[in-house]
Amino acid sequence: MKTKWSILLLFMGIPCMTSAWNYPVFGTSNVLDLPALLVQHANGDQTLALYTAAVETDTAAQYTDKVYVLRDSLYPVEVRLCYRSYTAYAMWEMWMEISHQEKKPILLKRFDSGHFTIPQGNVWMTHFHGDWAAEGTPTESKLERGTISIQNTDGTRNAHVDAPSVVFALDGPLEEYHGRTVAATLCWSGNYELRCNTTNDGQHHFYAGISPQASEYVLSPKETFITPHLAVAYSESGMNECSRIFHRWARETGRINHPSMPRPILLNSWEGIYFDITEERMIAMIDDIADMGGELFVMDDGWFGGKYARNTDNAALGDWKVDTRKLPNGLQPLIDHAHARGIRFGIWIEPEFTNTLSELFEQHPDWVLRVHGRKLRLGRGDTQLVLDMTNPKVQDFVFNIVDNLITTYPDIAYIKWDANTSLENYGSPYLPKDKQSNLYIAYHQGLQKTLQRIRAKYPDVIIQNCASGGGRANYGLMPYFDEMWVSDNNDALQRLFIWWTASYFFPANTLAQHVGGSPYHMTGRNLPIKFRCDVAMFGRMGLELNSRHMSQDEQVQCAQAIQDYKQIRPLVQQGNLYRLVSPYADKHTMSLMFVNDQQTEAVLYGFRTDFLKQQYIEKVRLKGLDADKTYRLEELDVVGKKRAPIVLSGKTLMEEGIDLPLYSDFASVVYKISIEK
C-alpha cells in the first residue's frame, strides 16, 4: 500500500517527507519555468532566492500538515509552503503563506496556492466552462505542448464563465470508473487563474491561484498573506472515486455548513410569481407547500423597498425594509401562518449590492465601488452597483441586514443570499491610493469576514449560496453556506447536465433542485411532472413554480414525490454517489444512484433524454452494492399502479445490469433498493 505522500511524489511531483518542495519561484527556478511566485521588493528587485530554513510537521486527527519554511538569502521574506495530507482518503490541500520585514510594502505579482507536476503520458484535462443558465459544461482536450490558462475575471462571482476546478485523466480521456485521475479545485470566491504548462519534455506543470490580473497585492511589512487552499483528490479508478472523496472531505472537514443536517423540502416563490409579492399570494403558496407535505417556504426577491419599490430588478437593493405597499402587515403574519401550517420561513436578500435607484445609494454614494471621475458602469437592471466590501462600515451594514432580520423575526430559518452583478467599476473609495490593486482580493476577504460574523452569531440558520444561479459554486464560500442554487436554468432536462458536473465536486445535499413549471419559461420545453419531480429528488428537493397554477395531477404527483423523497432523503443527502450513465455520453439516458455505507439501501434513478435517435437503450449496470446480497427494487414517485418489484443479486445488478423502463421521451424512473428479506 502506497502512502499518501508517496502517491503525491509518484504522480504529481509534490514533495514526500524527504524530498524538496516543488514550487517555481521567479529568480530561483529555471527561467523557463512559469513562476508560481513573483515578488517585487520595495527597492524594485523582482527576484527571490529561497532556501529551506525548516520543515515542520504537525499531525491532527484527520490529516498531517507538512510546512516548508523558506527564507530569502538577501531579503527578510518568509514563505511557508503548506501541504495537508488526509489520512483516510487520497486528498491533499496546498497553500502558501508569505510575510516580510522589509521597510516598505512589497508587491505580490504572482502568488499561486499550489503547483504540481504530472508526468508525460496520455494526459487529458477537463475544465468547466459555461455561462449564466449554462453552468459547468465539461470541455476536455489532450494536453499538448504549450500553456493553457483557465480564468475567471467576474470579480464578485467565479463559476459562471469557467469554474475554479479542473480534472486530469492520466490514462486517456476521463472515465467514471477507470484510469488515474487527479481532480483539483481552488477554494476561493474571487478571480483565479489555473494554468497548465506542458513543457518540451512532455511534463505537465499545473499552477492554481488567485488571478494576478489587475490584482497585484500590496503586502505591508509584518502582514501575512495566506493564499486560498487548493484541494486535490486522486483516484486510480476514475472520476467517480474523486467525487466521493470530495464529498466526504466537504462533509467531514467543515467545507459545507451543517454537513449532516437533513435539508428541508421547500417552495420558492421566484419562478412562480417573480416580483408580484402580496400577502395573499404568499399565504396561498405557504398553504400549497404545506398541503403537498413540504417543510419550508422561501419568499424570494420583491418583498422590500421604501421610497423605491422593488417591482422589477432595477431598484431598492440596500433598502432592506418590508414594502408595506405589498405586505401591509409586515412579515410576521406570513411567518405565523407558516408556523401554523407546520412550515418554516425563508427569505431572499442580495446584501453586497445596491441600485442607483435606492435610498442606500442616495445616502452613501461612497459605499459603492467606483472609479473617481468616471461614469458608473451599471449591472443588472441597468442600475445595479457593487458595495465596497473592503470598507468595514459596509461590512457592518451587510452584517446588520442579516442581524436585523433575524433579531426582528427570530423564526426566519433560511436565507437565500444572492449576487447578481460583476465587479465592473474597478475602484474602492475606501482603500488608499497605493492599495487600489488589492481590491479584487480585499473584496472577498471583506465578504468572508462578514460571513464569519454572521455564522458566529447565527450558526443554525440555513443559508443558500446563489449568484444568478451557480455563479459561486466554489469551496471558498461554501463553508458559510448549506447549499447552492445550481443554476437559474431550472428546466429538468438541462438540469441533468448541469447537475452531472456540479456533482463532480459538490455533494448532493448542497445541490438545490426544484420542480419547475411546464412549459419552462427559459427553454419553452414541456416536461412531464413525474420527470420534473424525479430530477428534483436527486438533490435538495424543492419546488419553484406558481403553485396556484398547478393542475390537480401535478399537485398529486408532487405530494407523492415529497412523501417518497422523505424516505430516501438520508441516502441522497448522505449516501455515496455513483454516476452511471452520463447525459453527455449520447446514450439517450442519464442514470445515477446513491448507496449507504452498509450497502443495505440505495436509490437508483433513470431518465430518458431522447427517444428519436435510438429507441433501444443499453442495460444499466449498478455500482456500490454487495455482490453477495439479494436486493429488491421498488418504484418510487408513482401515482397509481407500480410495476412489480425486481429482485436480483448484487452481482447480477452490477455485472449484467437491468433494463430501465424508459419507453418514451422524458420517461423517468426512481427505484428504492433494499435488502430482500
**Where does this chain bind ligand GLA (CB under 6 A)?**
270, 300-301, 313, 348, 418, 420, 466, 468-469, 485, 488
Pick the closer one to ligand GLA by CB: 314 or 560. Answer: 314
Q: Which three cell numbers stand for residue 627?
A: 455482490
Nearer to ligand GLA, 5 or 348 (CB): 348
Q: What SS3 class is residue 335?
A: helix
The residue ranges of DSSP E strands in 369-518, in sequence order, are: 384-386, 412-417, 462-465, 483-485, 511-515
In the complex, the smallest distance separating the C-beta of residue 544 from ligand GLA, rounded to whole angstroms, is 8
The CB-nearest residue to ligand GLA is: 301
**In this structure, what are the phi and psi dihedrals at residue 576, rounded to the nearest 5 degrees?**
-90, 130
Pick 260 or 312: Cβ nearer ligand GLA: 312
Question: Measured from the CB of residue 323, what is the shortest distance to ligand GLA in angstroms?
Answer: 14
* Cα–Cα distance, 441 to 439 (Å, whole number): 5
Q: Backbone phi, then psi, for 299, in 5-degree steps?
A: -85, 115
Amino acid at residue number 269: S
Question: What DSSP element (H or E) covers 271?
Answer: helix 270-273
Separation between Cα atoms, residue 479 and residue 197, nearest integer Å: 31
Query: Element (H or E) spanning 502, and its range?
Result: helix 492-505
CB burial of residue 570 (10 Å; 0-12, 13-18, 19+): middle
Helix, strand, coil percentages, rounded to 5, for the chain: 25, 30, 45
Nearer to ligand GLA, 81 or 273 (CB): 273
Least Å distance, CB 361 to ligand GLA, is 18
* Helices within 322-363 (DSSP H only): 332-340, 359-363
Minimal distance in Å, beta carbon 583 to ligand GLA?
22
- Residue 416 CB, nearest distance to ligand GLA (Å)? 6
Q: Which of 573, 434, 597 has the alpha carbon at shortest distance from 507? A: 573
Closer by beta carbon to ligand GLA, 313 or else 534? 313
Q: How far is the CB of 348 from ligand GLA (least distance, A)?
A: 6
C-alpha cell at 281: 399570494
Task: Kindly state the smallest distance separating residue 448's Cβ from ligand GLA, in Å.
Answer: 21
Nearer to ligand GLA, 41 or 157 (CB): 157
Beta carbon of residue 549, minimum distance to ligand GLA (angstroms, whole number) = 18
Q: Are 311 and 324 in contact (CB under 8 A)?
A: no
75 or 297: CB nearest ligand GLA: 297
Give the list of residues 6+ apart from residue 138 with CB closer than 8 angstroms, or none: 126, 127, 128, 501, 584
Query: In the complex, what is the shortest distance from the CB of residue 269 to ligand GLA, in angstroms, rounded to a whole number?
Result: 9
Q: Which is nearer to ligand GLA, 348 or 399 (CB)?
A: 348
In the structure grid, which three cell numbers stand for residue 461, read together? 440558520
Which one, 379 or 575, has the nearer CB to ligand GLA? Answer: 379
* Residue closer to ligand GLA (CB basis): 354 or 582: 354
CB of 485 to ligand GLA, least distance (A): 6
CB hemisphere CA count around 197 (13 angstroms) = 14
Longest dimension (CA), the chain: 80
